[in-house]
A and B are shown apart, each in its own frame.
Chain A
Amino acid sequence: MTSAVVGSNLLGDLLSRPRPAEWASLREAAERRLAGRELPTTSDEDWKYTDLKALAELSSGPALKAAVDISSYLLPEMVGTRQVFVNGHHAPHASCSSAVPAGVRFFPMSTASEACHALGTVGEGAARDLFEELNTARFVDGAVILVPKNLKVALPLHLLFITKAEAPTVVFPRVLIVLERGAELELVEEHHGEGAYLSCPVVEIRVAEGAILHHERVQREDPEAFHLGTLKAEVAKGGQYHSRTLTFGARLSRQQPWVRLAEGAGTTLDGLALLDGHQVADTHSFILHAEPHGTSHQLHKCIVDGRARAIFNGQIRVAPYAQGTDAKQQSRNLLLSESARVDTKPQLEIDADDVKCSHGATVGALDPEELFYLQSRGLNADDARNLLTYGFAADVLTHIPVASLRRTLRHLVMARTQADSLGDLS
């Protein structure tokens, strides 16, 4: 067993875990690329604002199978369409796929590894992050979703990743989603946990011609946990990928969505991070307009309280000859406390001339005039502040298609912004 990675016990420990038997060549290739790599530091431009020092100290015991009570995570629309993974292992008793429509395949990767030849092929040629490589080298199990041609799945699917760490550990959730031509799907992916651990999920998505995927992603890890996730999506001609990533948990988290758009393809990549205490939440997104007439819209909002830090690095690249591209990117940040901090860097790189591209970023506190207005209508100062804070967050939640999830998240945001004292605003 090689532990060629130097400079960090964490990496060495992880690679000294036994290599699972499936996908041997994929894992070997990842290990080769990992040789000599170290945990990034803040002198790496990509990690300039996100310090992983605390992560290097995390020890990594094995991720054991555990029993969990999932009742609080269940959503009524998706009772019979869920797959649950605990500590990286499939949890068959907690999962239920009785209501999954015929034709859709939604199963744990470990049960049919041979079917997943697409694994590890999304975003080939793009830079691979260290944590993505680690996942490939050592993931144990994950979910596969295959939707056949022209099938529009009526019920949303539910993916639950739960980590229960008695002792510090590292888990590698893995997801592969393939939508064939003209297929449509709604998916809810949630991450919950207890204890001190690192979760490194990798999600690979292929959206074929004219297919549409709506993807809601909720990160509610333990306040002591780390979450470093990678998502790669390739959207074929006329296809659409719409995602919304909601960050509530983890002491340090990073989302790295990467989306490639073919001709006429579209994406929305929205995000909301609600941070307090010493939380750090980082989003590094990359949208590649590789072919003409693609559309991308990105709205990323952060509400930062306590001593928390929000980081946004959003890159939009328009390849040569990707004419007719329409790209819009917004980074909006609300600072609620003296010691909160925001670092944002929206970026446009454009190599075609007939394009409509814009980006914007704002950082600031609540508008005193808006606060005054609400007070003039009889709200006290705290309620006015909380209502405006909730309102800032709420527009990201408005379009969540799954009603019960939308309600749950609204209540969560209301509680976090203390707007719940104003009654039910949802």
Chain B
Amino acid sequence: MSTTFNVVTSQEYKYGFVTDIEADSVAPGLNEDVIRFISAKKGEPDWLLEFRLKAYRHWLTMTEPEWAKVDYPRPDFQKIVYYSAPKAKIPKYASMDEVDPELLRTFEKLGVPINEQATLAGVAVDVVFDSVSVTTTYKEKLATVGIIFCSFSEAVREHPELIKKYLGSVVPATDNFYAALNSAVFTDGSFVFIPKGVTCPMDLSTYFRINNKDSGQFERTLIVAEEGASVSYLEGCTAPQFDTNQLHAAVVELVALDHASIKYSTVQNWYAGDKNGVGGIFNFVTKRGLCKGKASHISWTQVETGSAITWKYPSCILLGDDSVGEFYSVALTNHKQQADTGTKMIHIGRNTKSTIISKGISAGDSSNSYRGLVKVMPKAEGARNFSQCDSMLIGQTCSASTFPYIEVQNRSAKVEHEATTSKIGEEQLFYFQQRGIPTEEAISMIINGFCKDVFRELPMEFAVEATKLLSLKLEGSVG
């Protein structure tokens, strides 16, 4: 006997509206002139243009990766708009009053606090709309303790020495197909620099929004925490609902020096396409943190609920002795979504530790894969890894896979990997119903319990958002 788990429609995508705003775009297509155009538009120094061109020339020799368990029409790179910016008279808004009210309304609708007076949470936000950063809040306040938090373009102008030193130092321009593409055409993003000994007094956040139908988003984030510094950084993203696929290929680089700590949290809610798999974002992202210093600490927490296709492996290179890498992930796929996500933990230094907790939930016709690498190099004396990857399947037509790669070259290492697969039991549901809790609510509670280990790593506001998001995404998918 079995209850039929009917997959009906899920909650409509709330952020699917388009903002009618005049954009300053380059014609679709990619060639060296487009790259020169982007670079000139941003008033970049020559070395950065060189960096882009080198990446582009290398990209031309590369082929799209095919090893992931995702199936999608290959994007036509000549049809993508590589630069799209809200049209404005002044390149960067001097104060909030100058911001196009239409834009302000967009972010209000999204619930992103870009008006400092109106914020309650006390989170500093950098807002990126298509290809440019619109505004960054709390800059002055942060500057008093020496923290630099600004858009990437601004950092290139104001702090070129820092950018030159760290750009591409964790994810080389030639690293992989999408990282190379990003290195060639990235338009904006956020830059964070926490000087020696400073603990960032508030959470920093970037909000990404794709608005233009034909544009790709290629942002670049670079976070550097000097000796003893620490920061918590949040990233959120949405996009309008189009019936075409848009490409999002970001690169995020984190650098932690001695005793520094970076906590990077993402709630990814790009448009996932409709229930028949039409439209949605292709999310091909390279995120990597370098624990460069002794006892440095990098922690990735992600809640992946959006995008038609996700291809994303936030990783840690544990170079410094006693450094720690963490990866906490919840990935939820529904309808025709496909996600191939996980992490890489490269143990190089002595006594390095890493923890991987991955929770995959697949519903509908979706496919959800965990793919991870734990690599212990010969010199990584005393390395320690613990991985736990659990999958939950909802419905008969979804699929869940686990592909952990474990490579150990040091005998003092201790590496453990565990994975389980389960479904929401009828008996569990029956128990809840018996106690007067309706099915929908019961499922939401079971899912929250399943994801608890990850949610508790999220900053509070994000944890609340993530919990809500998961129940919205699954609403109506079980009955």
Contact = CB atoms under 8 A, between A and B. Distances in A.
B408 A358 contact: no
B325 interface: no
A364 B414 contact: yes
Interface in A318-349: 320-321, 323, 333, 335-349
A358 B418 contact: yes
Given A350-B391, A361-B416, A342 B401 contact: no
Given A320-B396, A345-B405, A353-B394, A340 B411 contact: yes
Nearest to B418: A360
A356 interface: yes
A352 B396 contact: yes
Contact of B402 (A323, A338, A348, A363): A348
B21 to A, nearest CB: 44
Q: Among B401, B404, B411, find the residue whose CB has the most chain A CB atoms closer than 10 A.
A: B411
B280 interface: no
A321 B420 contact: no
Nearest to A329: B419
B411 A337 contact: yes
B402 A359 contact: yes
A331 B419 CA distance: 12
A337 B423 CA distance: 42
Contact of A362 (B401, B415, B423): B415
Contact of A345 (B67, B394, B406): B406
A45 B67 contact: yes
Interface in A337-396: 337-365
A321 B417 contact: no
Contacts, number: 113
B406 A335 contact: no
A329 to B, nearest CB: 9
Nearest to A357: B421
Looking at chain A's contact residues, the main secondary structure is strand
Nearest to A315: B403
Nearest to A313: B405
A350 B422 CA distance: 10
Interface string B279-321: 0000000000000000000000000000000000000000000
Given A343-B406, A345-B405, A354 B423 contact: yes
A345 B411 contact: no
B397 interface: yes
Contact of A361 (B400, B417, B423): B417
Given A354-B423, A358-B421, A364 B400 contact: no
B241 interface: no
Q: Among B378, B398, B419, find the residue whose CB has the most chain A CB atoms closer than 10 A.
A: B419
B372 to A, nearest CB: 10
A363 B401 contact: no
Nearest to A311: B407
Contacts of B410: 335, 338
Nearest to B399: A351
Contacts of B400: 348, 350
A360 B395 CA distance: 25
B427 to A, nearest CB: 12
A352 B396 CA distance: 5
Given A347-B403, A350-B399, A355 B408 contact: no
Nearest to A345: B405
A358 B399 contact: no
Given A353-B398, A364-B414, A346 B404 contact: yes
Given A362-B416, A363-B413, A341 B421 contact: no
Contacts of A323: 396
Contacts of B406: 342-345, 361, 363
Q: Among B2, B394, B409, B423, find the residue whose CB has the most chain A CB atoms closer than 10 A.
A: B409
Contact of B405 (A320, A321, A343, A348): A343
Nearest to A361: B417
A277 to B, nearest CB: 16
A50 to B, nearest CB: 13
Contact of A365 (B399, B403, B412, B419): B412
A346 B395 CA distance: 24
A349 B369 CA distance: 8
Interface in B115-131: none
A356 B392 CA distance: 11
Nearest to A312: B406
Contacts of B415: 361-364
Contacts of A349: 69, 399, 401
Contacts of A361: 404, 406, 415-417
B393 interface: yes
A237 to B, nearest CB: 21
A178 B69 CA distance: 36
Contact of B419 (A339, A348, A364): A348
Contact of B396 (A49, A339, A353): A353
A336 B408 CA distance: 12
Contact of B420 (A341, A347, A357): A357
A391 B423 CA distance: 36
A204 B393 CA distance: 34
A348 B421 contact: yes
A360 B388 CA distance: 9
Interface string B132-162: 0000000000000000000000000000000
B274 to A, nearest CB: 23
Contacts of B408: 333, 335, 341-343, 363
A339 B266 CA distance: 39
A138 to B, nearest CB: 33
Contacts of A352: 393, 396
B237 to A, nearest CB: 29
A293 to B, nearest CB: 14
Contacts of B409: 341
B417 A346 contact: yes
B420 A336 contact: no
B216 to A, nearest CB: 29
Contact of B411 (A338, A348, A355): A338
8 contacts: A321-B396, A354-B2, A356-B422, A359-B417, A360-B417, A363-B413, A363-B415, A365-B412
Ordered nearest first, which 10 A-B pairs have the shortest CB separation?
Answer: A335-B411, A353-B393, A364-B414, A361-B417, A357-B421, A363-B408, A363-B415, A351-B399, A349-B401, A358-B420
Given A348-B391, A358-B421, 7 more contacts: A320-B397, A333-B408, A348-B400, A350-B421, A351-B399, A359-B417, A360-B417
